[in-house]
Amino acid sequence: MQLSFAFLTLLGLVVASPTVEKRAQPAGIDVSNFQPTINWATVKANGISFAYIKATEGTTYTSPSFSSQYTGSYNQNITRGAYHFAHPNSSSGATQANYFLAHGGGWSADGRTLPGALDIEYNPSGATCYGLSQAAMVSWIKDFSNTYQAKTTRFPVIYTTTDWWTQCTGNSAAFASTNPLWLARYASSVGTLPAGWSYETFWQHSDNASPNPGDADIFNGDAAGLARMAKGS
């Protein structure tokens, strides 16, 4: 996933990527079919601890790179998870959770698999909130989340921005006590969180993870915390 550069430019939000530095918090990346071939041994050697990998979009798209990325990262002992790009305009949350689950988005308690993430954000080609009211959007997300939880025992991680969440859910606090937050903000700090969450679990702080592929993320904790997050303990 990647917030549209044009959109960020429009808002004057483009900032320099934070300089690469050694961080105590585990570093991660998120990738999609934009990075079809990845040398995971190099990524691991570069100090990356976790990766979120795009599996699906709506009910019409599965990433052709998903399987190799999901397996390749796992084989290098990189904690991996799958994500789904929501199309709340085209079918119910339950339908899309089931599609995600049927195409690699599941979870297992092996300690190296993160719960699936729902990427819910700016519509890349249409009304920002996909034509849904704030109440309908909250219901859609609940439907996705509850369906995923019923099948996996884990609540999905929610990837979003504070701006989108405020516009499109009315800054709903309904998920803060159940769903881990993965916040996107390309700046030197995570900034204001959506209502209810007192901390983010993941922060996507840049759309450039160079020298690694994809976007750059940080886990808000230490390595043991990341392992607990994966395990669900």
Ligand X SMILES: *[C@@H]1O[C@H](CO)[C@@H](O)[C@H](O)[C@H]1NC(C)=O
| Alpha carbon distance 35, 233 (integer Å) | 32
| Helices and strands in the chain, H and E counts | 7, 9
Tell me whether residue 110 or residue 171 sits nearer to ligand X (CB atom): 110
119 an active-site residue?
Answer: no
Tell me whether residue 22 or residue 37 sits nearer to ligand X (CB atom): 22
Residues that bind ligand X (CB under 6 A): 77, 87, 89-90, 123-126, 223, 227
215 an active-site residue?
Answer: no
Q: How far is the CB of 57 from ligand X (least distance, A)?
A: 8
| Alpha carbon distance 167, 169 (integer Å) | 6
The secondary structure element, H or E, covering residue 50 is strand 48-57
Q: How far is the CB of 87 from ligand X (least distance, A)?
A: 5
One of 57, 119, 121, 200 is an active-site residue; which one? 121
Tell me whether residue 36 or residue 126 sits nearer to ligand X (CB atom): 126
The full DSSP string for 61-116 is EE-TTHHHHHHHHHHTT-EEEEEEE--TTTS-HHHHHHHHHHTT----SSSSBPPP
Q: How far is the CB of 172 from ligand X (least distance, A)?
A: 21
Catalytic residues: 30, 121
